[in-house]
Structure 1
Amino acid sequence: MENAPPFTSGQRLRLYRDLADWYPLLTPVGDYAEEAAFYRGMFEKHAQRLPRTLLDLGSGAGHNAAYLKETLACTLLDLEPAMLACSRQMNPECEHVQGDMRTTRLGRVFDCVLVQDAVNSMTSRDDLERAMRTAYEHTAPGGVALFHPDYVEETFKPGTDTGGSDGNGRGLRYLEWRWRPDSRADLYVADMAYLLKEEDGTVEAIHDRHLMGLFPRAAWLERMAAVGFDPLVISFPHECSGEAGREVFLGTRPVASPP
């Protein structure tokens, strides 16, 4: 689309910035155990080399790394300093790097690369391919990269979700409202409403808007192949995924990479 839709100017991403210390109450680390076990299993099954090192692109608060670091030496990259600060508290033994998954080049390769739901922030096909190329450049020959979007175009349904938790005297509850402003656009909107309760009982209501990429399954596979991966679609276990994230895209970097 030639002009950005007017709603795009409202994106705030406060959850990853000034509200980052509330993030563990939105999605507690315990909720990631099954997902992390699934990722580890995919690395071990599909990598043509023993998985020892991991690059997590868009690592957020480090919840996946809290489990994956048990068997993998993890390097965690995220764009937002506040999220890296949260992760350092949980994963002090891991390497943390601030950077953009579309452009960062660390000058080394890893056995495994993980791009979980942070890949949703790629709202154009060009940006998606840039993130894939970053993953490819950091994947060792015979290694694998795994991308886990919340939705592809074929599985997306407008709707709402609720959740939240309590901890350290504080509490958070949220309502997520997903909607697609234009069926021709490669994105959807996730409007988030947070109720934040402090230790003294005061409650603040906050609205946060996130723009999420939404691409057809074929576009994922075509872009992965274009950067050099041998791509594969894998079903994500329903007990882990709920309504979202039912598919992951796994790319193997050939042992003999093309010139």
Structure 2
Amino acid sequence: MHKLYQELAYLWPLLSPPEDYEPEAVAIKSVIDRYLKRNGEALPVLVEMGAGGGHTLSHLAGEFELLAVDIAQPMLVNCSLICPEATTILGDMRTIDLGRQVDVVLIHDAVDYMLTPTDVKQAITNAAKHLKPSGLLIVAPTYTTDSFEDGQSISDEHEDRQLQVAFTSKVDRASDAPNQFLMQMVFDITENGQTTRLADEHCCGLFSESDWLDWIKSAGMQTHIIEELEEHDHMPWHGYVGIK
């Protein structure tokens, strides 16, 4: 399991502030408003598979009954603090059985950790199983094979009263797997005047837009490309909708 989601999970609210997710949540809400057929006045039920720290969900509270699924317990602890309205559930998006159907399944960039077509198809099929008739699947991988560029990097620094964190991340295609990329992360964490450097490597899946659309269609859903996510420069993800 990656350090970022385990022993470094306590840094997540500092590294990725919840307020930065508001534009993304607004875009997701607009997609749901466009495609979801609502029945009655009850709040629609939305589950995020791979919810992480709950930063996106925190901006959807009050609009939906929220469920947060993640494979990393420390991230679910963060989620409970940032978005107490969400019910947190430990589990793998490919295999979890919630025992109920929902209106919306959201799989954001956590889907990047599906390394093979089999992994992705399992996650999409499981999501479809959990959807009510006319329910929505929203999938938003960070990259497709068409958009990926080797060597893209990000550097940033954050601090609060107790600690300072500087980090860099860089992505490159995996040399031995054409449908994967590697994200190399380095953290310099300064606490009480002492700096510790930690490295964390993330291996992620990389697939074409046509693959994503085919896999959603194969799970028995109508497909649409989400234009809202692509229109925001600060949200370069690729979004796809499946309607059951």
Bin the TM-score by the shorter chain: over 0.9
Give the alignment partner of residue 4 of structure 2, picking from 4, 10, 15. 15
For 2:180, the equivalent position in structure 1 comes to: 187
Q: Classify the secondary structure of the residue corresponding to 1:206.
A: strand
Q: Deviations over 1:185-213 (max 9, x none)?
A: 21100000111122x22221110000111
Q: Classify the secondary structure of the residue corresponding to 1:185.
A: coil
Q: Structure 2 matches for 1:90-109, cutoff 5 A? A: 90-109=82-101
CA contact (8 A) 2:102 2:130 kept: yes
Q: Classify the secondary structure of the residue corresponding to 1:36.
A: helix
Q: Deviations over 1:189-238 (max 9, x none)?
A: 0000111122x222211100001110011110111111111111123223
For 1:226, the equivalent position in structure 2 comes to: 218
Q: Deviations over 1:36-78 (max 9, x none)?
A: 1111110111112256210110000110111111311100000
Give the alignment partner of residue 238 of structure 1, picking from 224, 229, 232. 232
> 1:68 and 2:60 equivalent?
yes
Give the alignment partner of residue 48 of structure 1, picking from 37, 52, 59. 37
Q: Greater CA deviation, 147-156 or 90-99? A: 90-99
Amino acid at match of 2:190: K
Q: Structure 2 matches for 1:1-259, cutoff 5 A? A: 13-49=2-38, 52-158=44-150, 159-182=152-175, 185-198=178-191, 200-235=192-227, 236=229, 237-241=231-235, 244-245=236-237, 247-253=238-244
- 2:170 and 2:128 map into 1 onto residues whose CA distance is 33
Amino acid at match of 2:187: Y
Amino acid at match of 2:106: L
CA contact (8 A) 1:28 1:165 kept: no
Q: Classify the secondary structure of the residue corresponding to 1:233.
A: strand
RMSD of the TM alignment (CA)?
1.5
Amino acid at match of 1:191: Q
Q: Give me the TM-score of the superposition, normalised by structure 2.
A: 0.93
- 2:157 and 2:135 map into 1 onto residues whose CA distance is 36
Q: Give me the TM-score of the superposition, normalised by structure 1.
A: 0.88
Q: Greater CA deviation, 51-60 or 31-40? A: 51-60
Amino acid at match of 2:53: A
Q: Deviations over 1:2-30 (max 9, x none)?
A: xxxxxxxxxx5100011100111221111
Number of equivalences:
238
Point out where structure 1 has 5 or more consecutive residues left out of the alignment.
1-11, 254-259
The percentage of aligned residue pairs carrying the same residue is 26
CA contact (8 A) 2:115 2:205 kept: yes
